[in-house]
Structure 1
């Protein structure tokens, strides 16, 4: 059994020099020459960049790489500064971005309004099941690194290595892409100013937010998500009015565009093309699980946050995209024609109704959404790189965490890579970013499929080892393992559909360039997997269920007290009216 000390030394409470402190079972923490807390604000700020002081984890020299990785990620110096309201708003609106506001335009053009709803609905169910599975794992194991650590633990270290680098690359590439998208969007008002100037402004905003660590991320996302949620709700109300003929031009629209030009565009191939765009629009949903180790009370916060995903899928995606399909015909030549707000079906719906002024408001919301995704990219990339380093899967310098709880080196790496955003001033910008995006285009699909499979393996390991899930788990996924099986299946079908569309593109002939721009992530991921197998000489295909560690890093609960607490909550909810019971089931 691995033993991990979970007590992190807080430098703020250290008032005098200490040479060493005894830890139970003979563990030692070196606390050499620790200076008192500075009295000035500048001194405290400067001191915050010094390395965090950690408890050493105790392990035997006979431990293998997997056991050491599990032990290392079980303790984390990251600060638990995310509050319940942060997680709630991140869950509701954190992933709403260019995928919904702009990407849905290209999806509407290639698939039609019916395909739009089918693609987002099926992907939404898959994402809901994935987040429920992730919530169960994260409440049980609120450890640093999240997804790739679960893959290392429940599937295979080589797959964990591949998933970790896959996920880190996704966010590493998204940062410059989103900053360029924000600068392009400014062209809606003024396209004479060099885009590099706007890129510099947006880049500085992201750097400033990340100076405040996870608290800065949480507060920024709370603001960004609030704006996005209000904007989508406003569009839904407006869309219903417009479809019923309440716009300036008047005239009942109803389902006219479902008949002419029709419900589907490009037939079955058009439907297949929708899924990757839908997956892209949901990417970032899993950040709720990544923040588990930086949340004060995952047992309380995460279950409610994961339930919020249902509302985002239903209200903010399905309803809004249904209205988009009713208000904008799929053969509108402006759909998918550019990467700014003028190509957004949300803007086109308002322009078609003859409303002036509101397109500018939507444009502001798109800029905020883009900045939100850019901010999330630094968070997602830095935490993943740090977890990889702690497991010995990345340079050890990436494991550096300062006394403010910031994974400083990983944040700096992400921000330095983000400087690629200044390619916005280059004539080759589009070509470069198309190939960069191809490296991470399928990242979310692999991540979600792995999370679902980890959940299946976790439950199976509990069964094999004779553990009672009902008695031990503080939160169980509402979708159960059935939802996880569905998630694995649909993620696999999404990869197959994307392969089909990549090989036989809509409106074109098969060619290597289009194929690899759509499917390059697939061979890259398996290249990472093969590299780790050879590097570590790890020839096992999976960790056997009887050998899976179900205890290290798990949340410490008094099982009897936990069972009593959960039963009291159930009894309290059962005593309430049916509307309240329904509310608590979904919220």
Structure 2
């Protein structure tokens, strides 16, 4: 491509949607570089930019509202008691809020196909990105398996006549159909599902609040309302409390999928901050108030809790059953069913896009980077949804509670690894930005919480991974044995081995030299970003690297 020499004055109205790595030319002036109003970002990944702010927000919200809260809160209530459950969701909510802040700042600047995988590759090391990408892809198909076994648990509330394998097969096909339709259809399905989930949770919180017989003017009724807290706030001591937190993390896993969606959003600078700004409030209402209502209305000793001796039911459903409101119990179970299918389909989307991103940076076979003319990465769909659906058949020969525990522990550890790497990448990015003499004022969007939120998220991720190791060696109510350890901690072992292998393969340092990081190579430029759009280093760059193909006019 040949760019003509022009004046040094840059016209702010010309928006730089995408800009690859430009080097070895002192004749490049930013006034010459213009793009179409709608550039197909990721043209070499064959993904389309057809989504907007509401899609981004709802996919991120819907990803985090699945069986972890609706069903998993029951196992947590049994293990740790009401206070442990509530505190566990407070901690995990603060963590995802911190991670979202890091995602927001990074995703506006670098809306890349595999998002945090490429951020880790750029700012930490190629080995770190490789381990994160493949480790996180594991979590997607594990989540699909978990959501499909959740379908069996939910539908057994109405009937036990249909074989487990039949339910799994039917809804495996449903998840496939949602994903293989056009991307826009998938997004609209998630908008609908997320609206239903969030809207019904508000109704649940209000109705259970009245059901708990609260009257703040009455000391007797206030005591009745918190009767479960007064009787046994913490169960099984400290070990019971720490066994709850991983389940809470699993319940909130998925909000980071917003980072993957940004590559298919038309204007990340506008959409991402709006999505990040609203997600924490919505998840806070859903998880913090939702878990509080569970602790006020359901006893940890209820025989019908998920994983108990009775039917595998949600604590929310149990609350309505115990209150004598069967209609609300049936509606809640139906909403939980929608939630599970929604989260399963989002995991298929996320897993396929993760493989696209890995192929994009040559960390996966190039076949996974291909998509058809309407943006569907078939190879990624087949591998992710295929493995996830196949793994779900474990539920045929084991109880739903056992399978849920195995898979949720695996996903929670991979999620902690991913969240930690996102926060660490953000810290490294800001460190590099400052080291290379850049001003914070030139960032397209800045998180007001930096660096405290990033450090908060990173430290908690490290602490909880260590806690999970402790629980894997000395599990609650079980003896120490190799089977329990690997069933609960195999994901960490796998990530460590993958990272070590990648370290040898790439022969790279533990983290790259910040002075050598090219901050402009994969970033997106926007109009009206003051002097940053005319940073002197851009004038010296003119060659594409990593085969990034962009459209210029």
Counterpart contact for 1:184–1:340, Cα < 8 Å:
no
Please give the secondary structure, in 1, of the residue aligned with 2:255.
coil
Residue-by-residue CA offset, 1:27-64 (whole Å, 9 max, x unaligned): xxxxxxxxxxxxxxxxxxxxxxxxxxxx998899xxxx
State whether residues 149 and 395 of structure 2, in contact with CA within 8 Å, keep that contact through their aligned partners in structure 1: no
Unpaired runs of 5+ in structure 2? 5-17, 24-40, 534-553
* Structure 1 residues 189-237: Cα deviation after superposition (integer angstroms, max 9, x where no partner): 1111122322232122222222223212211110110110111111101
Quickly say closer, same or farther: Cα 1:244–1:490, change in 2 above 3 A: same
Q: Could you tell me how far apart the structure 1 residues matched to 2:529 and 2:268 are?
A: 19
- 1:169 matched residue in structure 2: 138
Write out per-residue CA displacement over residues 409-452 of structure 1, whole angstroms, 9 at most, x where no aligned residue: 11122232244166268425867887666654411100000000
How many residue pairs get aligned? The number is: 497
| Residue among 96, 107, 110 paired with 1:141 | 110
Cα displacement (A) at 1:342: 4.1
2:98–2:453 Cα contact (<8 Å) kept? yes
Partner of 1:281: 251
Q: Distance in 2 between matches of 1:533 and 1:563?
A: 34
**Counterparts of residues 47-86 of structure 1 (less than 5 Å):** 76-86=45-55
Pairing of 1:353-502 with structure 2 (within 5 A): 353-420=323-390, 423=393, 426-427=396-397, 439-470=410-441, 472-502=442-472
- Kindly indicate whether the alpha-carbon contact (under 8 Å) linking 1:93 and 1:312 is maintained by their aligned counterparts in 2: no
Deviation at 1:502, TM superposition (A): 1.8
Residue 462 of structure 1: SS of its match in structure 2?
Answer: helix
Cα distance in structure 2, aligned partners of 1:117 and 1:372: 25
Alpha carbons 1:173, 1:436 under 8 Å: kept: yes
C-alpha contact 1:435 1:517 (8 A) present in aligned 2:
yes
Q: Say if 2:212 is the partner of 1:234.
A: no
Tell me what 1:508 maps to. 478
**Residue 435 to residue 115, structure 1, CA distance change in 2 (3 Å):** closer
Residues 148 and 161, structure 1, Cα contact 8 Å, conserved in 2: yes
Output the CA distance in 2 between the equivalents of 1:200 and 1:270. Answer: 36
CA distance in 1, matches of 2:399, 2:391: 9
Q: Distance in 1 between matches of 2:150 and 2:403?
A: 14
TM-score after normalising by structure 1? 0.79
Separation in 1, partners of 2:251, 2:395 = 27
Does the CA-based 8 Å contact 1:438-1:520 persist in structure 2? no
CA 1:111–1:562: 2 relative to 1, 3 Å: farther
Structure 1 unaligned residues grouped into runs of 5+: 1-22, 27-54, 61-71, 565-587
Local SS of the residue matching 2:131: helix
Distance 2:396 2:62 in 1: 33
Instruction: Point out the more displaced range, 323-332 or 414-423.
Output: 414-423
1:179 matched residue in structure 2: 148
Sort the Cα spacing of 1:57 and 1:396 in 2 relative to 1 into closer, same or farther, 3 A.
farther
Selected match of 1:270 from 231, 240, 259: 240
SS in 2 for 1:167: helix
Change in 2 beyond 3 A, CA 1:351/1:137: same
- Whole-angstrom CA distance in 2 between matches of 1:422 and 1:98: 15
Q: How many Å separate the matches in 1 of 2:526 and 2:340?
A: 40
State the TM-score, normalizing by the size of structure 2. Answer: 0.84
The answer to whether the Cα contact below 8 Å between 2:46 and 2:370 also exists between their aligned partners in 1 is no
Using the alignment, how far apart are the partners of 2:514 and 2:314 within structure 1? 48
Cα deviation, 1:257-278, whole Å, max 9, x if unaligned, reads: 1111x21111211121121111
Query: Is the alpha carbon distance of 1:487 and 1:114 closer, same or farther for their aligned partners in structure 2, counting shifts above 3 Å?
Result: same
Find the counterpart in structure 1 of residue 261 from structure 2.
291
Check if 1:99 corresponds to 2:68: yes
1:63-97 deviation digits (Å, cap 9, x = unpaired): xxxxxxxxx97964311111211122233443111
* RMSD across aligned positions (CA): 2.8
1:211 aligns with 2:211: no
**Preserved CA contact (<8 Å) 1:434 1:517:** no
